[in-house]
Amino acid sequence: MDARDPELKPELKKELNATLQARHELGADYESALVESFLEKVEQRLDGTVERRVRRELAERQMAAARDARTPGPVEGFGERFGFGVISLILAIPLSAIAAVNADIEGLVVCWLGIFGVNAVHASRGLPWTRGKRHRRSDEWGED
């Protein structure tokens, strides 16, 4: 229940009316004690409301974290790997020509080692022993 809850307003009105009635009957001498008592009751209700909200928010976050933990990450399919391989081979043609013209056979070897390395790294991303070692980009940069 919160302050917008229709059940809470009548309860607080009753408490306030009872406090005002008691002040009227007891006089101004007991006014500070009556006000303190009323404020204490309001504070207890607010504390209870805040506590319920915090518990609910915590439970929702725990549920969301549990759902995220159970949901497997994006799985790369054959199509993505095949497409990456085809594109790297297509780009290898002009890169090989440039490397061979500018640096002869050594340049060609370095070019193909680079192409092989890029494809090997891309292919190893889906291997079971590497799945737990990857981090989200926000974790690497310390962002939240």
Which pTM does this prediction carry? 0.39
First to last CA, the chain: 32
CA 35, 36, 37: angle at the middle one, nearest 5?
A: 90
Give residue for tokens 């013209």: 101
pLDDT tens digits, 44-86: 888 888 999 999 999 998 888 888 776 665 555 677 888 888 8
Query: CA–CA separation, 16 vs 10, rounded Å?
Result: 10
Residues 119 and 88 sit within 8 Å (Cβ to Cβ)? yes
Could you give the count of Cα atoms lying within 13 Å of 1 in the half-sphere of its Cβ?
Answer: 13
What is the maximum span of the chain, computed from C-alpha positions, in angstroms? 107
Give per-residue pLDDT as tens, 12-37: 788 888 888 888 888 778 888 888 88
